[in-house]
Amino acid sequence: MRASRYLLSTVKETPADAVIDSHKLMIRAGLVRQLASGLYSWLPTGRRVLSKVEKIIREELDRAGAQEVLMPTVQPAELWQESGRIDQMEGQMLRIKDRHDRDFVYGPTHEEVITDIARNELKSYKQLPINLYQIQTKFRDEFRPRFGVMRSREFIMKDGYSFHVDQQSLSEEYDNMYQAYSRIFQRLGLDFRAVLADTGAMGGKASHEFQVLADSGEDFIAYAVGGSYAANIEQAEALMPAGERAAPSQEMTLVDTPDAKTIDQLVEQFNLPIEKTVKTLIVEASEDSEHELIALIIRGDHELNELKAEKLAQVKAPLTMADEAAIKQIIGAAPGSLGPVALKVPFIVDRAVTLMSDFGAGANIDGKHYFNINWDRDVALGEVADLRNVVAGDPSPDGVGTLDIVKGIEVGHIFQLGDKYAKALNANVLDQAGKASTMLMGCYGIGVTRIVAAAIEQNFDENGIKWPGAIAPFHVGIVPLNAHKSPQVMEVAEKLYQELQDAGFDVLLDDRDKKTSPGVKFADMELIGIPHRLVVSDRGLENGMIEYKARNEADKVEIALSEAISHIK
C-alpha cells in the first residue's frame, strides 16, 4: 500500500467520551469512526486488523473440524417466541417491522436460527456431531454502549453451534472448542485466562469465558495463585461455602422516599462502590434472616428500570403480588424521572446469589450483594481492592492455591447448552435405536471486533499501538527520506517495497510528498503500530545501509540493504 493513496486518517485529538486507551487509540490511529452511539465504521487500517483476526479464527476452527455458514442478521420474531426468549432478551433486541407489518428482530445472537436449520437439515444420529459457525454482525441495544468497539451496539461475533446425540459427544466437542479457543487467543498474541462462568441468559450447564487480562476490563476474575482454578467473580463467589462468605457488617436503614439526598446519604453511609452518575440498580442484602428487607435503589431512566423490575418480579417466585405491585408502583411513581427512588422488598437473601447468576452480574462485598439487573453485566462493582479484601486470600474453592482477583475483558464464551433450544424448537434426530431423540447443543462465541480493542489494551505506549505481529495492519513500513530530491532513494524504496511484498509481507510505503515531514511519517507509523520500520536515505545508501527500527524497541540500527528481508523475518 502506498501512503499517498491510502486513507490513513490519523488524528491528534481524542474525543471527549473516549476514556480507555484502546478507544482513544482506535480513533487517533484511524481504525474506526463513530456513526452514532454504539455504531462504528471500520476504516481501512481497522478493517485490515479485523480481517487478520477473522483469518486466524477461521483457520483454527476449520482445523478443529467446524464448518462455516452464514445466517441472516434479520430474524423472524416468531422464532424467538418459539424459544421463549423474546421477553428475556427484550431490552437488548432491536425490533423491526416489514411492509406487511410482520415482526422481525435484528439478531443479538443466533441460537434460534441455527436450531431451525438443525431441525430441518439433520435427521439421523449419523449426521452428528456437527459444528457450524459464522462470522456475522449482531446488534444488542446495550444499556450503556461505551469504550468504543469494546461495548458497542453493533458488533461482529464469531458464533458457533454444535449438535450431538448424547452428552459424551457434547463434552468432547466442548473440550475440542476449548482447545481451539486457546490456540486462537495464543495466535492472536493475547495474555488471557479461560475462567469458569455462569451460563446466564443462554441457559445450560458448563461454561467458560475467555478473558483478556486488562485493568480496563469490565469483568472480575478470581484465580488461584499456586493452583489452576479460575472463575469469573460471580461463579467464584457462588461456589464458596456459605460460611466462607463475608459476614454482613452493617445494618441497612430502609428508606422509601424518592429523595435523591437520602440515596446519596445511603451510598455514603454504606460506602456503596457505585459510580454516582451510572444508571444502576443496587440490591443490598444482609445475611442473617430468611426474609430480609432489602432496599432497591434505582437510578436511571424510567423505561429501562421498569423492564428490569419486571424481570426481577418474574425471576423471584417467592415475591408476592403485593411486592410486584410495590415495584410497579415505585416505577410508576417516577415516570420519566431521572432521580433515584428507593423501595422496600422482602427478599430471600440466598436468592441474591442466584439472581446474580441469573442476570449474570454481581458481587458480594462485605456481605452486601451488589448487582445490576441489566443482564448485560454492566455493573459498577467498585474497585478491585474492595473485592480483593473479601475474596482474595480465601482458599481456592477446589482447595489448591489461594484466590486473587484481576480484571478482564470477555473475548470468548463457550457453553454446553444441553437440550434447551432443541427441546423448545423440537429439533430431533433418529438415534441408533430408531427413536426420535432431542439433540444436545453447545454454543461458542468470540467477540471479533472486541478483540481488536482488547489487543490494544495490552499493547500500546505513549506513541501509539504496538500490534502483535499476527494482527498488525502492516508488517513493515518504509520511509524514503528526501525522496523528492533523490531518485536513488525512491528507487531503492520501491524495490524494497516490491521484494517485501513478494516475500509475503504487508507493506506500507510512505511515498507522501515533501508536504508531509519525515517526523510526521515516523509518528504515523508508530501510532498505527507497524512492527518493523525501514528508513532509506542517501547517507545510508552511500555505504549500502538502511535504518531499521522495531516498534517495540527504543533504538534504531543500521543494517545492510541486502539483508533487509532476512532481518525482518
Name the residues that contact ligand ATP, by CB under 6 A: 109, 140, 142, 151-152, 155, 157, 376-377, 410-413, 445, 447, 449-450
Rule CB under 5 A: is residue 450 a binding residue for Mg ion? no
Query: Nearer Cβ to ligand ATP, position 448 or 483?
Result: 448
CA distances to 469, 497, 505, 512 from 564, rounded to whole Å, are 17, 11, 12, 22
Rounded least distance, CB 298 to ligand ATP, Å: 21
Q: Which does 352 bind (CB under 5 to 8 A by kind): ligand ATP, Mg ion, none?
A: none
CA distances to 163, 239, 369, 427, 443 from 205, rounded to whole Å, are 15, 14, 24, 19, 11
Question: Residue with the closest Cβ to ligand ATP?
Answer: 447
Query: Nearer Cβ to ligand ATP, position 323 or 376?
Result: 376
Rounded least distance, CB 236 to Mg ion, Å: 15
3-state helix, strand, coil in the chain (%, to 5): 35, 25, 35
Rounded least distance, CB 161 to ligand ATP, Å: 12
Residue with cell 461458542: 444
| Interface characters, 333-352, with Mg ion (x: CB under 5 A) | --------------------
Cell digits for 327? 415495584
Rounded least distance, CB 452 to ligand ATP, Å: 10
| Interface characters, 369-388, with Mg ion (x: CB under 5 A) | -------x------------
Of 283, 288, 287, nearest in space to 319 by CA: 283
| Residue 290 CB burial class (10 angstroms; 0-12, 13-18, ≥19) | exposed
Instruction: Assign 533 to helix, strand or coil.
Output: strand
Query: Nearer Cβ to Mg ion, position 363 or 507?
Result: 363
Rounded least distance, CB 147 to ligand ATP, Å: 9
Q: Which does 447 bind (CB under 5 to 8 A by kind): ligand ATP, Mg ion, none?
A: ligand ATP
Q: Pinpoint the alpha helices (H) of 417-537.
A: 420-424, 448-458, 487-502, 518-528
Instruction: Assign 94 to helix, strand or coil.
Output: strand
Q: How many residues does the chain have?
A: 569
Phi, psi of 67 (to 5 degrees): -120, 135
Inter-residue contact 415 to 199 (CB < 8 Å): yes
DSSP code string of 337-383 = --S-EEEEEEEEHHHHHHHHHHHT--EEETTEEE--SSTT-------
Q: Which does 358 bind (CB under 5 to 8 A by kind): Mg ion, ligand ATP, none?
A: none
Q: Which does 340 bind (CB under 5 to 8 A by kind): ligand ATP, Mg ion, none?
A: none
Rounded least distance, CB 160 to ligand ATP, Å: 11
Number of residues in contact with Mg ion, rule: CB under 5 A?
A: 3
Rounded least distance, CB 208 to Mg ion, Å: 10
Q: Which does 273 bind (CB under 5 to 8 A by kind): Mg ion, ligand ATP, none?
A: none
Query: Nearer Cβ to ligand ATP, position 133 or 347?
Result: 133
Q: Which does 157 bind (CB under 5 to 8 A by kind): ligand ATP, Mg ion, none?
A: ligand ATP
Compute the distance between CA of residue 558 and CA of residue 406 in angstroms, rounded to an integer: 42
Query: Nearer Cβ to ligand ATP, position 356 or 411?
Result: 411
DSSP code string of 193-233 = EEEE---GGG--S-EEEEEEE-TT-SEEEEEEETS--EEEH
Query: Nearer Cβ to ligand ATP, position 217 or 540?
Result: 217
Rounded least distance, CB 375 to ligand ATP, Å: 8
Q: Which residues of 191-215 are buried (b: 16+ CB within 10 A; e: fewer)?
A: ebbbbbbbbbbbbbebbbbbbbbbe
DSSP code string of 27-63 = HHTTSEEEEETTEEEEPHHHHHHHHHHHHHHHHHHHH
Query: Nearer Cβ to ligand ATP, position 116 or 142?
Result: 142
Query: Nearer Cβ to ligand ATP, position 380 or 565?
Result: 380
Rounded least distance, CB 224 to ligand ATP, Å: 23
Query: Nearer Cβ to ligand ATP, position 18 or 327?
Result: 18
Rounded least distance, CB 167 to ligand ATP, Å: 22
Query: Nearer Cβ to ligand ATP, position 140 or 549?
Result: 140
Phi, psi of 462 (to 5 degrees): -65, -15
Query: Nearer Cβ to Mg ion, position 137 or 463?
Result: 137
Rounded least distance, CB 219 to ligand ATP, Å: 7
Rounded least distance, CB 466 to Mg ion, Å: 27
Inter-residue contact 477 to 530 (CB < 8 Å): yes
Q: Which does 466 bind (CB under 5 to 8 A by kind): ligand ATP, Mg ion, none?
A: none
Q: Which does 549 bind (CB under 5 to 8 A by kind): Mg ion, ligand ATP, none?
A: none
Q: Which does 151 bind (CB under 5 to 8 A by kind): Mg ion, ligand ATP, none?
A: ligand ATP
Q: Which does 551 bind (CB under 5 to 8 A by kind): Mg ion, ligand ATP, none?
A: none
Sign for the pseudo-dihedral over CA of 169, 174, 175, 177: positive
Torsion of CA 200, 306, 371, 140, to 10 degrees: 50
Query: Nearer Cβ to Mg ion, position 42 or 415?
Result: 415
- What part of residues 409-428 is at the interface with Mg ion (CB under 5 A)? 410, 413
Phi, psi of 116 (to 5 degrees): -65, -40
Return residues touching Mg ion (CB under 5 A): 376, 410, 413
